[in-house]
């Protein structure tokens, strides 16, 4: 079987373009990405079905008009129909989510995760604190080990923000000054 190069190349380009669009933060581009990507994949399935021929099943009962031309493979077409329905539903859902997100936040960007930001901020805090302590230890060696970490027995770091009034790690920040 020799697949059509044009179909395969078009499918590949559409898939690539769809993936690029899916990586965007804007939800409306994401919808377009879903559509482009699924069309590209459908073309690839069609390529997998071999060269085009006469209408499958129906043409078998008709008198031979152009002998030598075989029937097309019906199975990829059935699979593409199913895939089209599924990607239509997915795209509709993403569109609904984009609308809802726009109503809630005023734009259609995907936000950062709050908990990820917390972990990142804490690790940055830790690095800053450590460099500061090292700097002080160089300036005044008696400082080293004189102050102990408030929650050093708890590497996971569980800030009891309810007790200190301020979110984050107020004790560590206060200690540095």
Partner 1 sequence: MNALIPLPVLLPVLAAGIKIIIGPRHALLKRAISVVALGAVLGIAVVLLVRADRDGPQAVQLGGWPAPVGITLVADRLSALMLVVSSAVILCVLVYAFGQDGADRDRDTPLSVFHPTYLLLAAGVCDAFLAGDLFNLFVGFEMMLMASYVLVTLAGTMARVRAGTTYIVVALLSSMLFLVAIAVLYAATGTVNMAQLSLRIAELPAPVSRIGEAALLTAFAAKAAVFPLSMWLPDSYPSAPTPVTAVFAGLLTKIGVYGVIRTETVLFPGGHLHTVLLVAALLSMLVGVLGAMVQIDVRRLLSFTLVSHIGYMIFGVGLDSAAGLAATVFYVLHHITIQTTLFLVAGLIDRRGGGTSLARLGGLARTAPLVGVLFFVPAMNLGGIPPLSGFLGKLGLLRAGLAQGGPLVDALVAGAVVTSLLTLYALVKVWNQAFWGAPPDDLPGDPPAARLPVAMVAGSAALVVLSLAYTAGGGPLYGLCQRAAAELLDPQAYVRAVFPSGGAS
Residues that bind partner 1 (CB under 8 A): 1, 3, 15, 18-19, 22, 27, 30, 34, 37-38, 41, 44-45, 47-49, 73, 75-76, 79, 82-83, 86, 89-90, 93-94, 97, 100-101, 104-105, 110-111, 113, 115-116, 119, 122, 155-163
Q: Are 38 and 30 in contact (CB under 8 A)?
A: no
Closer residue to partner 1 in complex, CB, 68/155: 155
- In the complex, least distance from residue 152 CB atom to partner 1, rounded to whole angstroms: 15
Q: Would you call 102 helix, strand, or coil by DSSP?
A: helix
**Euclidean distance between CA atoms 12 and 137, whole angstroms:** 59
Closer residue to partner 1 in complex, CB, 64/115 = 115
> Rounded to 5 degrees, what are φ and ψ at 26?
-75, 130
Q: Which is nearer to partner 1, 37 or 172 (CB)?
A: 37
> In whole angstroms, what is the distance from residue 125 CA to residue 30 CA?
35
């Amino acid at each position: 079987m020799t697949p059509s190069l044009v179909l395969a190349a078009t499918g590949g380009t559409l898939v690539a373009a769809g993936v690029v669009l899916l990586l965007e933060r804007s939800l409306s581009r994401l919808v377009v990405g879903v559509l482009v990507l699924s069309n590209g994949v459908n073309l690839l399935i069609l390529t997998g079905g071999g060269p085009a021929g006469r209408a499958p099943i129906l043409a078998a009962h008709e008198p031979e008009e152009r002998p030598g031309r075989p029937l097309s493979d019906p199975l990829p077409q059935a699979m593409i129909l199913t895939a089209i329905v599924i990607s239509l539903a997915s795209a509709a859902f993403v569109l609904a989510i984009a609308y809802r997100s726009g109503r809630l936040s005023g734009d259609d960007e995907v936000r950062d995760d709050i908990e990820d930001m917390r972990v990142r901020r804490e690790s940055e805090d830790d690095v800053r604190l450590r460099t500061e302590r090292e700097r002080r230890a160089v300036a005044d060696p008696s400082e080293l080990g004189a102050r102990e970490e408030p929650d050093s027995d708890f590497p996971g770091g569980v800030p009891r923000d309810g007790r200190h009034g301020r979110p984050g790690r107020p004790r560590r920040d206060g200690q540095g000054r």
